[in-house]
Amino acid sequence: MRWQDKVGQVVRVTVLGSGDAFGSGGRLHSAYLVEAPGRTFLLDCGPTVLQSLKRSGRDPGAVDFVLLSHLHGDHFGGVPFLFMEYRYEEPRSRPLAVYGPPGTERRVRGLFAALYERIASEPLPFAVRYEELGAGTAHTVDGVRVLPFVVRHVKELLAFGYRIEVDGRTIVYSGDSAWTEEFVAQSRGADLFLCECSTYETRLDIHISYPEIAARARDLGCRRLVLSHLGSEPLAHLGELTLECARDGMTLDL
C-alpha cells in the first residue's frame, strides 16, 4: 500500500540529506524526496541519495524525475548512482527526467563517465531525458509547477532556488545561496521554505549564516521554515537555535 493511501491527499517531503558538502556532523548530502498523489520526485540528488532512500524505507524506483538546483557534487553527484540502481538492482524501463540549470546534461553525462566509464558508454535500458531550465520562467513538470529563480552562490556557475507548486501545496527551496531578498518574495504564501544555513560565526558571500536568517525570519511569508544544509558551525550551536532545523530522515507533511 502506498503511504498516500494511508494518510490521504497530502504532500510529504522527506529530508534525505541535511548536511553540507563536508558531511558535517555525519549528515548526508543534499536530497529531498517529494511524494504527492500520482508523482514522486527528488529535489537535489547528492552522492548519498541511495543510502538515504533505503534507510528511510523509500523505493528508489518510485522516483519520476530529478530536479537539480545547481551543479556542485554534493547536490547532483547521486544521479549516476540512480542510473546504476536502475540498471542492476531495480531494473527500470520507464523514462527518467533530469531537470536543472544550463549544463546539466553535460555535467551528469561527464560524471557518469568518470565514475563508470564502460557502463556509461553503453545504452541504458531506460531513456534519460534532460531539460535545462531558464530562470524566471515557470515550467510544468509532470503536473508540478516549477519556477526557478537565480540565487547568489559561486560566480562560475548558475545556481537556482525553486518555488514548486504540487497538489495545492507550495514548497520553496533555496538551494545553495547567500542571503537574497528574493527569498522574501518567493516564500510568500508557501507551505514550506527549505533554506540553507551553512555557517554561524563565519560570514560568506556564497552561503547563509544562522544570524542572517534568524534576523529575517519574520519577513518570510511561509507557513513553515526549516533550515538545512547545516555546516559544522550551526551544528555546534544546535541546542541554542530557535529556528527549526532539518535532520536526516525527517518527514514534513504539508
pLDDT tens-digit readout, 97-153: 999 999 999 999 999 999 999 999 999 999 999 999 999 999 999 999 999 999 999
Give tens-digit pLDDT for 140-186. 999 999 999 999 999 999 999 999 999 999 999 999 999 999 999 99
Amino acid at 227: L
Identify the CATH number of the domain in which residue 217 sits. Answer: 3.60.15.10
- Number of residues in the chain: 254
How many domains is the chain built from? 1
Q: How many angstroms separate the CA atoms of 227 and 199, rounded?
A: 11
Which residues, at least 6 apart from 1, have a Cβ–Cβ distance to it below 8 Å?
Answer: none
* Cell numbers for 94: 520507464
pLDDT for 3 equals 46
Domain that holds residue 180: 3-253
Summary mean pLDDT of the chain: 96
pLDDT for 9 equals 76
Who has greater pLDDT, 120 or 3? 120
Q: How many angstroms separate the CA atoms of 59 and 27, rounded?
A: 21
Q: How many angstroms separate the CA atoms of 227 and 18, rounded?
A: 9
pLDDT of 82 above 60: yes
Where are the extended beta strands (E) located within 76-230?
A: 96-100, 128-132, 139-141, 144-150, 160-166, 169-173, 192-196, 225-228
pLDDT band at 1 (very low <50, low <70, confident <90, very high): very low
pLDDT of 5 above 70: no
Who has greater pLDDT, 6 or 185? 185
pLDDT for 13 equals 99
SS3 of 132-158: the string is ECCCCCCEEECCEEEEEEECCCCCCCC
pLDDT for 8 equals 59
